[in-house]
Amino acid sequence: MPSQVFFGTARQARLEAKETLPAKLDLILEQLHLRDRVDKETVVIKMHTGNNMVYSTIHPVFVRRVVQAIKDGGGKPVVVDVNWDTEGAEKRGYASEVIGCPVYPAAGPDEKYFYEHERPYKSIQSWRVSGLIQDSGFLVNFAHVKGHPSCGFGAALKNLALGCLAGKTRSAMHDAMHYDQYWFPEKCPDKSLLPQIIAACPFDAVVEDKEHLGNLHLHMEQCNQCGRCLKVAPEGSLKIAAVNFHTFQEACAHAVDIVLSTFAPGKAVHLNLATHMTPVCDCFGFTSMPILPDAGVFGSDDIIALDKATLDVIGKTRLIEENLPTSMEIHTREGHPFQQLHGPHKDPYKVIEYGAKLGIGSCEYELVDVLPLEYPERTSMPYIAAH
């Protein structure tokens, strides 16, 4: 049976408060029966509180409504995020006086509060789940949707995958992209070619490996797989291969599986707010122009169905190319808009596929619009001349 994904479009028919996104979020919380499910529970609201001067993360108006619903249901809410984002969160509006509950670092101020979970995956042996996440009874995963330089996009899955793991694991997940070999020095015996290969990349994604001089290192985040470097590198010496990029997404799926395994069945809900979607993650410390039209708010018990539905809705729109940073380029019009932005190997659906394979949720969903758009009928008028 398909999972239900509740959806409130950002578009309004009338200019009335009940048709705006906070009101539609309320309708989604009702559909998810959040109030009925949190009595006496310590509820962690995992969100990205941003960094530095970010202003595109979830507006406190939305957070306050979730906090209030949890309190109405007899739960004890607390907002959590990684330590370097909760530090200074009040400067971005996430103060208890505003949102109605405290904001804590999920793994403690020094990221020393975590639980190890053994699960070998490529270069990762064990995964450190943040203590406050694992020790709580109920999870509200409240994600802001945006682009992401490692995997194309970030929403509910990524909010848990990176945001609920302590620092060492987050680094290990990024490092795992280098597990599969992509530089084959024996195929490039002429080291004088290295500066030319490096210079071929307009995004500084290829550099000399600082730890192994005479070799190349790829910054996957900056690479949009344009292939320029491959035209300079001797054949077979450098690979821009999907496996390296997909590894990050598979690691994210494993992380989410482990995080959700610490909650009893039915003790987690997931929300996506797809507004002011920027090219890169909220941890960059700034907000750039929105690159896609606002889509709306989504909620489900099934995190896989939720991210899939969110991507599908966004995929029906087009990049607002005039809003892109001038340093970025679109070299392919194939695939999802996030993929067009970050390159073909950063297919945002990959994490969903990996997650579904692990049994986290279902790719099959039913999209339930909580307040379908009305198209008010206009009375027919006789022709009126302008002058």
- Contacting residues toward ligand SF4, per CB under 6 A: 200-201, 203, 205-206, 218, 223-229, 240
The residue (of 5 and 240) whose beta carbon lies closer to ligand SF4 is 240
CB nearer ligand SF4, residue 205 or residue 292: 205
Which C-beta is closer to ligand SF4: that of 218 or that of 256? Answer: 218
DSSP assignment letter at 93: T
Q: Which amino acid is at 73?
A: G
Tell me the two tokens of residue 145: 């949707």
Nearest to 313 by CA among 7, 79, 25, 13: 7
Shortest distance (Å) from residue 231 CB to ligand SF4: 9
Q: Tell me the C-alpha distance between 222 and 205, whole Å.
A: 5
**Quick one: which of 221, 238, 229 has its CA closest to 283?**
221
SS3 306: helix
Q: Least distance in Å: CB of 99 to ligand SF4? A: 40
* Closer CB to ligand SF4, 51 or 224, in the complex: 224
Q: How big is the chain, counted in residues?
A: 387
Q: What one-character-per-residue DSSP string does 153-217 give?
A: EESHHHHHHTTTB-HHHHHHHHHGGGSS--B-GGG---GGGHHHHHHH-TTS-EEE-SSSTTSEE
What is the distance between the alpha carbons of residues 354 and 32, in angstroms, rounded to a whole number? Answer: 25
Of 130, 80, 140, the C-alpha closest to 105 is 80
Q: Which is nearer to ligand SF4, 200 or 358 (CB)?
A: 200
Element (H, E) at 367: strand 365-369
Query: Whole-number minimum distance, CB 204 to ligand SF4, in Å?
Result: 8
Identify which of residues 193 and 358 has a Cβ nearer to ligand SF4 in the complex: 193
Task: Provide the minimum distance between the beta carbon of 58 and ligand SF4 in the complex, in angstroms, as a whole number.
Answer: 31
CB of 210 to ligand SF4, least distance (A): 17
Q: How far is the CB of 340 from ligand SF4 (least distance, A)?
A: 14
Q: Report d(CA 155, CA 148) in Å as an integer.
A: 9
In the complex, least distance from residue 276 CB atom to ligand SF4, rounded to whole angstroms: 26
253, HSE (Cβ side, Cα atoms, 13 Å):
23
Strand segments (E) across 200-326: 206-208, 216-218, 268-274, 296-300
Say if residues 172 and 123 touch (Cβ distance below 8 Å): yes
- φ, ψ dihedrals at 382, nearest 5°: -70, 160
User: In the complex, what is the shortest distance from the CB of residue 177 to ligand SF4, in angstroms, rounded to a whole number?
Assistant: 13
How far out from the chain centre does Cα 53 lie? Answer: 19
CB of 331 to ligand SF4, least distance (A): 9
| Closer CB to ligand SF4, 221 or 302, in the complex | 221
The minimum distance between CB 222 and ligand SF4, in angstroms, equals 7
Nearer to ligand SF4 among residue 134 and residue 244 (C-beta): 244
Residue 229 vs 258, nearer CB to ligand SF4: 229
CB-nearer residue toward ligand SF4: 228 or 276: 228
